[in-house]
Amino acid sequence: MAIERPAAEPRNKFIVACIPAYNADYTIASVIMKTQKYVNKVVVYDDGSKDQTGELASLLNIELISADVNMGKGHALKRMFQQALDMGADIVVTLDSDGQHNPNEIPKVIEPILNGEADIVLGSRYMDGASTDAPPYRRFGLRIINSISKSGNKYDVKDTQNGFRAYSREALGSMVECKSNGFGIETEQLSIAVQHGYRIKEVPVNVRYQNLPNPSNMHPVRHGINLIETALKLVVEKRPVLLLGVPGVVLLCIGLIAGVMLLWEFNLSRSFSMPYAIIALGGLITGIFLIMTTLILYGIRSMYDNSK
């Protein structure tokens, strides 16, 4: 059922920018000062940086949250979201601290919320009017992750992983429910948005990768594994029959066919075929395990849906 929302209110909104930062002392001051032109308050989460990120940020009239050890982007965002809610934020915009996102595009990202057109706005690298200088390997990886993230979910967006986003206060209250503490939080946010019926809109933004003074510290492969792990977890939770049940039935059938072939050959020649036996045993055990897991997950999911 669609959520009824009031018409757009006057534009005197309290806007908060949330910037997760880790070892970003080369760029944090510039990003903060540019961002302050468009928002009422900036919240920075210094995620256990080993450099001067926290010290520099604290000089610029911002709300600083510091962690002694690196907790991950997801944890940082949830802490900042709660802080923004406590401050009375009407709109929150998130952007990275390494200079990938252009703070001058903040007005464009928050505009659909100000106009009452959306609850969550995603900056997209893949729309007309957007640009990115991402290297080919990163573009390829992002396309794979986008496909996995969208499978099993009902949202249709071009860029599921861009951290340049804006949230209404209503949507923000749900985003603190996310469980992911890593980079997979961007995928989980979309899943939660769909569950709550929030309106999602994309706007074209420019994302820079080349010649950054302090690029992301996480290795691209590790980053990708983190995102895929979260996406697959969400798919399993949403559609266990698709991801586990169907393969389970297929493997069970293969095991049964191999078992029949094993008995048929033994009946004819009195010889025991080890390959047939391995296929039959492996198919039956794995198939039954996947089917039982599917039934358990489906039952848990049904109980959760009925409890809402």
- What's the number of CA atoms in the CB half-sphere (13 Å) around residue 191? 27
Give residues with Cβ within 8 angstroms of 80, minimum separation 6. 18, 19, 20, 43, 45, 65, 94
Statement to judge: residues 80 and 148 lie in one domain: yes
Statement to judge: residues 107 and 216 lie in one domain: yes
pLDDT by residue (tens digit) across 36-82? 999 999 999 999 999 999 999 999 999 999 999 999 899 999 999 99
Q: What sign for the dihedral angle of Cα 167, 171, 176, 180?
A: negative
Mean pLDDT within 160-181: 90
Which residues, in sequence order, are bridge partners of residue 63?
43
Statement to judge: residues 255 and 233 lie in one domain: no
Mean pLDDT within 20-30: 94
Who has greater pLDDT, 214 or 89? 89
Statement to judge: residues 282 and 233 lie in one domain: no
Statement to judge: residues 293 and 175 lie in one domain: no
Statement to judge: residues 133 and 99 lie in one domain: yes
Report yes or no on 3 lying in a domain. no
Report yes or no on 2 lying in a domain. no
Statement to judge: residues 153 and 194 lie in one domain: yes
Report yes or no on 8 lying in a domain. no
Structure confidence at residue 21 (pLDDT): 95
Q: Dmax of the chain from CA atoms?
A: 86
Name the residue range of residue 77's domain. Answer: 15-238
Q: Cα(49)–Cα(70) distance, rounded to whole angstroms?
A: 7
Closest C-alpha to 109, from 204, 11, 44: 204
* pLDDT exceeds 90 at position 111: yes
Q: Where do we find the tokens 């033994």? A: 266
Number of domains in the chain: 2
Statement to judge: residues 154 and 282 lie in one domain: no
Statement to judge: residues 160 and 225 lie in one domain: yes
Helix, strand, coil percent values for the chain (each to nearest 5): 50, 15, 35
pLDDT interval class at 6 (50, 70, 90): very low
Q: Are 162 and 205 in contact (CB under 8 A)?
A: yes
pLDDT by residue (tens digit) across 196-243? 999 999 999 999 887 666 655 555 555 445 444 545 554 555 555 455
Q: Cα(212)–Cα(221) distance, rounded to whole angstroms?
A: 19
Structure confidence at residue 128 (pLDDT): 86
Statement to judge: residues 264 and 171 lie in one domain: no
Report yes or no on 156 lying in a domain. yes
pLDDT by residue (tens digit) across 270-286? 788 888 889 888 888 88
